[in-house]
Chains A and B, each alone.
Chain A
Amino acid sequence: MSFTQPISDSDKVEPASMSPRRFAGAYEDLREGLGRWRLAMWLGWRDAVLPMRRAKIGLFWVTIQSGLWVLVIAGLLGQSLGASEPFYPVYVAAGVVFFQFMTSMITDGAATFIRDASLIQNIPNPLSLYVLRVVFKALILLAAQMPIIAIAYVFVPEGLTWTLVWAAPALICVIFSLTGLILFLASITPLYRDIPYMIAAGMRVMFFATPVFWLVDTQGGLRQTVAAWNPLAHFLSLVRDPFIGAVPSVHSTAIVIGCGVVMWIIGFYSFSRTRTLVAMYL
């Protein structure tokens, strides 16, 4: 059983062939989905917490998994790769944790409509609800991993500075920008089923092509080029810099917000084109 929202007097369903109607429909969907953020939060909770509920330590496994990565990377590579970074343990910890956050947003985001195909096909709800729940799921998993960064500070307590207050606005910028991206990916994935596989393959490579655990060369070289042209490097440095005693650079902020605006335009356009087709392609 399902109620359509809003409970209005009349409800028209017409072919959305004309652009203005498409845009209005997509806008209405987004507005309604945001209005039901609490349901999106419950769905995020369902995806993040429920699968691990029967494990004795539950969500703590997420912490352990990333913690082991950080431990191995910082322990084995710290001396050779991180010599010029005084807060290397925190650099790696925050790098791994926030890269995981972005990976989770992008991979889950692309497949979000497919994952809940039966709900979408049987209960009339705004599709943006399923985009929003990806954000909440990623945030829950991020919260579970924050203790790793806290532990990393034990090794370099002097890394903890007032710049940390920049972390929250930086994270909001990153979420804004990535939400535009996943709106785009989610809306075309039902039609192009190769996308989730492309992203899974791509994100694995990006873990190495992004300065997650290596430092950006300051004297030119391939690493500097890669870090300059890889947008994810700017996303990562924006949220990580506050943790290692630096204020996020204007350059990275501009790139993240610029990417966000572009992704939202593309995402909104593709969402408005495919919104009414998604249910039949699932």
Chain B
Amino acid sequence: MVEEPLVELDNATLRLQLRGVRSANGAGVRNQASAPLVGGRIERALWGSNIVALQDISLQIFSGDRVALIGHNGAGKTSLLRMLLGIYTPSEGRCLVRGRRAGLLSLNLGLSAEATLRENIRLALALYGLPFQEIEGKTPDILEFSELNHFADAPLHACSGGMKARLGFAIATSVSPDIFLVDEAIGAGDARFALKARERIDSIFEQTRVLILSSHSYSMLKQFCTKAIWLEKGRLKAFGPLAEVYRAFVG
């Protein structure tokens, strides 16, 4: 039996619309080929301009793949992650994802300064889509891991930046999906916590069937990934073994 890919992209193109922005192209930029490597291609559209964030991407990712996402700023890394998460719908082509998806795109999402830590945990987990029966069970773990038990009923604004980062990290990593999409958001707290965080990430990554990690740090990518997707101006430049693709990217 042929194994089904967990992620399947079929000529997926994503146009982000800029309504009412008639001349988003800088003055004098006529020849797209000579344009810089930063940011997607801009095209004129009926109501303004379009940024072609992703263009004709076709690829398949199978269970067990650990994929690095590399490319310059504005190459389409976050757009691709958002499309795989189901937040963006492809303008053309097809994007198919099988299994429970989860994304770690930002650490302090959904946290409110006036709510207590306990309330924040509850609200954030609910936003992340965890069933209500499981939320109560997870809360002590999260407080324990972030070592903020004694602050459980204090408002979040009573916490320092590092404490908030610990909480955000503990919440965001408290559920383990099949397909885990991470956007350079790893690394929080002091040195001792960073070590703990690293262990937690290791164990989560081991449990997930597919990991897609976007980062500019090769040492980090090397540690977690075996394959790489190289995006350039929204196009798939290469998809293959990490070392090879990264050498081509740098070289």
Chain A residues packing against B (C-beta within 8 Å): 1-5, 7, 9-16, 36, 38-39, 42-43, 46, 50-51, 53-54, 118-125, 191, 276-277, 279-281
Contacts and interface: CB of A to CB of B under 8 A. Distances in A.
B100 A2 contact: no
B91 A2 contact: no
Contacts of A276: 88-89
A121 B81 CA distance: 11
B130 interface: yes
B88 A280 contact: yes
Interface string B88-111: 111111111111111111100110
Contacts of A10: 96-98
> What 10 pairs across the A-B complex have the smallest Cβ distances?
A3-B129, A276-B89, A1-B172, A50-B114, A13-B95, A122-B105, A39-B126, A124-B86, A53-B114, A10-B98
Interface in B119-161: 122-123, 126-130, 132, 155
B177 interface: yes
B110 to A, nearest CB: 6
A279 B88 contact: yes
Contact of B126 (A16, A42, A54, A118): A42
A5 to B, nearest CB: 5
B46 interface: no
A278 to B, nearest CB: 10
A42 B95 contact: no
Contacts of B173: 1
B86 A122 contact: no
Nearest to B129: A3
B61 interface: no
B16 A11 contact: no
Contact of B93 (A4, A15, A121, A122): A15
Contacts, number: 124
A165 B89 CA distance: 47
Most A-side CB within 10 Å, residue of B86, B101, B112: B86
Contacts of B123: 42-43, 46
Interface residues of B, number: 47
A13 B89 contact: yes
A265 to B, nearest CB: 23
Given A4-B129, A9-B98, 11 more contacts: A2-B102, A2-B127, A3-B128, A9-B99, A38-B126, A38-B132, A39-B126, A120-B87, A122-B87, A122-B109, A280-B17
A121 B19 contact: no
5 contacts: A1-B104, A1-B174, A13-B96, A276-B88, A276-B89
Most B-side CB within 10 Å, residue of A4, A38, A118: A4
B128 A123 contact: yes
A14 B102 contact: no
Contacts of B99: 9
B238 interface: no
Contacts of B17: 277, 280-281
B31 to A, nearest CB: 27
Given A119-B109, A280-B17, A281-B17, A1 B90 contact: no
